[in-house]
Structure 1
Amino acid sequence: MIERLETSARMSKIVRHNGTLYLCGQVGAGDTITEQTRDCLSRVDALLEKGGSSRDRILQAIIWLADMSDFAEMNAVWDEWVPEGHAPARACGEAKLARPQLGVEIIITAACD
C-alpha cells in the first residue's frame, strides 16, 4: 500500500511504501547557508517524525547547493545533525534552485515503521 501525507495537487511532502519513507525536497529560511541548512534539517526532522521515522533511519540524502563554494558551511551543520554511526548514503551537487534566495535543498529517503 502507498500512503501519501500532506498531499496537494502538485506533490506529497511524505510518501510511505513498503517500510520506506520518501520526503519531498526541503529548503530552509535564512540569509546564510548555515541558517538555511539548520532550518531545512529542522523541517526534515518534523517530516521524519510525522512519517514514523527518525534521523538514525535515513538511508539516503541528496543535497543540492546553489553554489558549491557553500559545501563546507553546509557540511558543518550536516555533520552536527547526523547521529554518529548513522551517516546515510549521500550525494551533493550544484543546481539552480527554485528561487534565487535558496542556497540548499535536501531530499531524504528513510526506513520507517
Structure 2
Amino acid sequence: MSTITRLCVGQRLSEASVFNGIVHLGGMVPESGAADIRSQTADVLAQVDAHLAACGSDKSRILRVQIYLANIADIGGMNAVWDAWVAPGHAPPRATVQAALADPAWRIEMVVTAAQR
C-alpha cells in the first residue's frame, strides 16, 4: 500500500498531499486580500513555488492548473504575471473560470497538480 503524505495539515484541510509521486496542492489563495489581481497572483504563485519545493517538485513539473477568478475581467492582469512566472517550454494545461470565492477580498484561487522530481 502506498503512503499518502500531507503537508501543512489543519483542522479543515491540508495545503498539499503527495501520493505515488503526484503532488496535489489545495486551493492556494492570496495571503492578503487588499492587493490588486497582479499582486494577488504573484502571492499565490510564490506559495505554489514554496509548496512544490517542500513536496520535491517545481513549476516545470506541473501537470495541470485550475484557476478561479472572482471577476473574469481580471484575466489580463493575471495572465501578465502568469506568463512571466511559467517555466519556458513547460506551460501546463490550464483552465480559468469565474467563480464566487470564499472570501470576497480574494480575486484568485489556484489548484495545482504536479509530478515529483
Equivalent residue letter for 1:102: W
Distance 2:71 2:108 in 1: 9
Aligned length: 113
What is the CA-CA distance between 1:9 and the residue it aligns to? 1.9
Give 1:88's aligned residue: 92
Give 1:49's aligned residue: 53
Give 1:10's aligned residue: 12
What is the CA-CA distance between 1:27 and the residue it aligns to? 1.1
Equivalent residue letter for 1:22: H
Q: Secondary structure at the match of 1:48?
A: helix
TM-score (norm 2): 0.93
Q: Identical aligned pairs, as a percentage?
A: 44
What is the CA-CA distance between 1:106 and the residue it aligns to? 0.7
What is the CA-CA distance between 1:14 and the residue it aligns to? 1.0
Cα deviation 1:63-85 (Å, max 9, x = unaligned):
00000000111000001000110
Say if 2:40 is the partner of 1:36.
yes
Cα deviation 1:18-71 (Å, max 9, x = unaligned):
110000111112420000000110011110010110010000000000000001
Give 1:25's aligned residue: 27
Distance 2:70 2:79 in 1: 14
The equivalent position to 1:63 in structure 2, one of 55, 59, 67, is: 67
TM-score (norm 1): 0.96
Equivalent residue letter for 1:93: V
Equivalent residue letter for 1:4: R
Give 1:112's aligned residue: 116
Q: Which runs of 5+ in 2 are unaligned?
A: none
Distance 1:26 1:4 in 2: 15
Say if 2:92 is the partner of 1:74.
no
